[in-house]
Structure 1
Amino acid sequence: MRLKYAFIKKHSTDYPVRRLCQTLKVHPSGYYAWLAEPQSARAKEDQRLLGLIKHAWLESGGVYGYRKIHDDLRELGEECGRNRVRRLMQAEGLRSQTGYRRRPGFYGGKPTVASPNHLARQFKVSEPNKVWVTDITYIRTYEGWLYLAVVLDLFSRQVIGWSMKPRMCSDLAIDAMLMAVWRRKPQQQVMIHSDQGSQFSSSDWKSFLKANNVISSMSRRGNCH
């Protein structure tokens, strides 16, 4: 019931409350009584967790379902149940998409010389612009496949840079990093963690990182973290 009330509150600026209550089969008096209640600690935690879920969902290109989102959150150190993630995603209207897969070479392929894994699964970061992570996925659209590169600040779990192109190239990853550097303008050295894909091993990528005081960290083969 509380999820229905939360949905009504979110959309009350776009639609009449009475109509929303009628659609969701709740009484307006119950909604207004809920609105007057102070937000519980559980509800506040749900809101915080929902923010992380949204970022993970957006990072996937809007294609991950609750199972993969739950796995991502667990690997980031979040203590949450799979059913809770499913409930929050359903209430927010975040759904998985079929017809996508991870980009070729994510789990294999022949990389060039890899950078050390400086991150070493230390997902708890003390401040922003200290550790960023990046990844590439590809999704199917009505116009064909598109490649999406995303840069995430590990401190806030916020997407700070992204790039989308119709083909896989080194510029895809560099453009996403360029947006992140331009938006954040870090004053200290930043670590960027990635897999061992060729886009993150190219000479252009390495030159860009060096020019912008960014150190590369790469996961070991067969592990994206």
Structure 2
Amino acid sequence: MAYIDVHRQEFGVEPICEVLQVAPSTYYAAKSRAPSLRSRTDEATTARIRQVHADNYAVYGVRKMHAELNRQGHRVARCTVHRLMRRAGLRGITRGRGPRTTVPAPGPDMRPDLVER
């Protein structure tokens, strides 16, 4: 729908729909229909998530965000919090590094030069 909105002045709705193999009535129905309950709920929940994220210095990830929202009485599933945080570009802060898999030897490199460089 957004693509058609951008190019409708230049080409018209019907030619664009013909190329995209979409019925023009589908476009007009989508434009006239009210937003779904999920999209309205997602907007409200995303606003709440942004507020909690900002109040907690932008350090909460999905797990802590879900717990905080439930403590505040805003019941929402953890997978929903994950989806909305990812869509809004919000991430938590990780304290640690990854695991250290290689430890260098303490002394000088004593391996022989087998190709005689």
TM-score by length of 2: 0.54
Q: Please tell me the root mean square deviation across aligned C-alpha atoms, in Å.
A: 2.9
**Deviation of 1:99 (Å):** 2.5
Cα distance in 1 for partners of 2:62, 2:83 equals 9
Runs of 4+ in structure 1 over 3 Å off: 32-35
Cα distance in 1 for partners of 2:60, 2:30 equals 32
Q: Of the candidates 73, 82, 90, which is equivalent to residue 86 of structure 2?
A: 90
Cα distance in 1 for partners of 2:56, 2:72 equals 15
Q: Deviations over 1:1-26 (max 9, x none)?
A: xxxx8xx8xxxxxxxx68xxxxxxxx
TM-score by length of 1: 0.29
Tell me what 1:63 maps to.
Answer: 59
Q: Deviations over 1:115-148 (max 9, x none)?
A: xxxxxxxxxxxxxxxxxxxxxxxxxxxxxxxxxx
**Deviation of 1:91 (Å):** 0.5
Cα distance in 2 for partners of 1:98, 1:68 equals 12
> Which blocks of at least 5 consecutive residues in structure 2 are unaligned?
8-19, 97-117
**Deviation of 1:35 (Å):** 6.3
Cα 1:99–1:84, aligned 2, differ >3 Å: closer, same or farther? same
Q: Of the candidates 21, 35, 45, which is equivalent to residue 49 of structure 1?
A: 45
**Deviation of 1:41 (Å):** 1.4
Fraction of identical pairs, as percent: 29
Report the count of equivalent residues: 75
| 1:75 partnered with 2:59 | no
Tell me what 2:100 maps to.
Answer: none
Cα distance in 1 for partners of 2:56, 2:43 equals 20
Structure whose CA Rg is larger: 2
Cα distance in 2 for partners of 1:50, 1:64 equals 14
Cα distance in 2 for partners of 1:43, 1:78 equals 17
> Which blocks of at least 5 consecutive residues in structure 1 are unaligned?
9-16, 19-28, 101-225
Higher relative contact order, chain-length normalized (CA < 8 Å, sep 6+): 2
Structure with a larger share of its residues in strand: 1
Cα distance in 1 for partners of 2:57, 2:83 equals 20
| SS of match in other structure, 1:96 | coil
Cα 1:96–1:38, aligned 2, differ >3 Å: closer, same or farther? same
